Amino acid sequence: MQTDSSFTFVLFGGTGDLSMRKILPALFEAHRAGGMLADSGKIVAVARHVGDRGEYLQWVNGHVKPHVSKNGVDESAWASFLERIEFVKLDLGNPEDFVLLRDAVQALPGIRVFYLATGPSLFVPICRALASVGLNENARIVLEKPLGYDLKSSNAINDAVGEIFAEEQIYRIDHYLGKEPVQNLLALRFGNALFEPLWRREWVESIQITIAEELGVEARGDFYDNTGALRDMVQNHLLQLLSIVAMEPPHSMDSDSVRDEKLRVLRALKPIDPLDIGKVAVRGQYHSGVIRGTSVPAYATEPGVKQNSTTETFVALKVEIENWRWAGVPFFLRTGKRLADRVAEIVVNFRAVPHSALGASALRAGANRLVIRLQPNETIRLYCLAKQPGEGMNLASVHLDLAFDQFFREGQMEAYQRLLLDVINGRLALFVRRDEQEAAWKWVEPILNEWKASNRPPKPYAAGTWGPAAASAMLAQHGTCWLEEEN
């Protein structure tokens, strides 16, 4: 991914956790690789708690450097990366500071990218302040999730930002769309004649999408208690992955062709009747438990969490898509905190053979399945049945592996690195369009409303398990179970 695109990358929230762990390390990796970032490209960090550039570079050395390059830091590359970084001390409440920002970036080359690594409450004030000094013209704006609390608040932010930036200037980031296996899912489906004929209701029995975390809410208890797993993970990450899995072949890989097909999936999601939500939606909240031999506290005792909170830390859903390709195929979505393992994966369970001359084992559901692992290790694994050595026709499950780190010797690109390069180079295909976001909120909102109206507490589950038993019971009704493997 070579580029000659000169750029000025302005990072709001320059001392925040996201900048420290993801954004600046991703920019460094692109810089270190050589040729991915134009030599003239500059990074302008914006923060209010740092005095000047020298103090900011000290912060970068102390806080960002430990998060870059798993195999150690090339000191020469690190030194030249620091030369790219400028700093502007900025108080969002002081309009004159945006004049200083304008003066700082006007002399810098290339396309301007404004990355808002801040809370969503600051998106609109920052955009309006940028417009007040003319910095919205011919620029790109990157918005982090969550973009709103519900459909109404999401529309309010989009309306306000849309008055300042055109849709083609707005990059709503969802880092799961930048992961290598998600890209390979598109290659697998649309680049090979082997899989696409099987990717439909006649051959697929069910599909599971899981994003599981071992961590709790950490220091974000106050934020998370006002958000919950449905807003934090389902409305964006899980529904985006679902749309990639289920979409029709796009005309091409240009931005609108891909996003048009994703939108068709989101609009085809079967609406959930409020009376049926208890049957197809499970919400849970973790209690105290043990993870990898360490005792961890209950969600209710985490700092920042309200007493007697009913916020969910786990969600499992049964989803249906009302179109010809997927009619009758259940999609099971699952996400949660303090679960038994950290894993993100897509599991495609194919139907059993219609008749077996080889015994009952050939008829079991899920004997043929495709597992696309997104984290912690990125792999694609195809399971099938084979004869065990020895006498008789005894079948056993075997698998074919595509381990990207072994097959492709060059280093893989992290999701944020790919997405930041796409912003700099003006590629929108992996970013969420406004109509996609609206369709996702419209589908999720009845669930949010019913949970709020019923005021029923979430089902408890012990930290270190796979969530409430009701989530497994929901799949058992369809003759299947969650895939829970060792890494």
Question: Which of the residues are catalytic?
Answer: 237
CA atoms of 84 and 41, how far apart (whole Å): 7
Q: Whose structure tokens read 């990898």? A: 292
Extract the tokens encoding 445. 């909102």
- Closest to 283 in 3D by CA, of 223, 217, 231: 231
Instruction: Give the burial class of 24: count Cβ atoms within 10 A of its Cβ; 0-12 exposed, 13-18 middle, 19 or more buried.
Output: buried
Cα 407 to Cα 23, 182, 418, 487, distances in angstroms: 27, 17, 20, 18
Q: Radius of gyration (Cα) for the chain, nearest Å?
A: 24
Question: Is 242 in a helix, a strand, or coil?
Answer: helix
- Is the torsion defined by CA of 473, 478, 484, 485 positive or negative? positive
Extract the tokens encoding 368. 């043929």
Query: Do the Cβ atoms of 407 and 163 come closer than 8 Å?
Result: no
331 has which bridge partners? 207, 319
344 has which bridge partners? 211, 375
HSE of 260, CA atoms in CB hemisphere, 13 A = 9
Q: Whose structure tokens read 């849970």? A: 284
Question: Is 25 in a helix, a strand, or coil?
Answer: helix
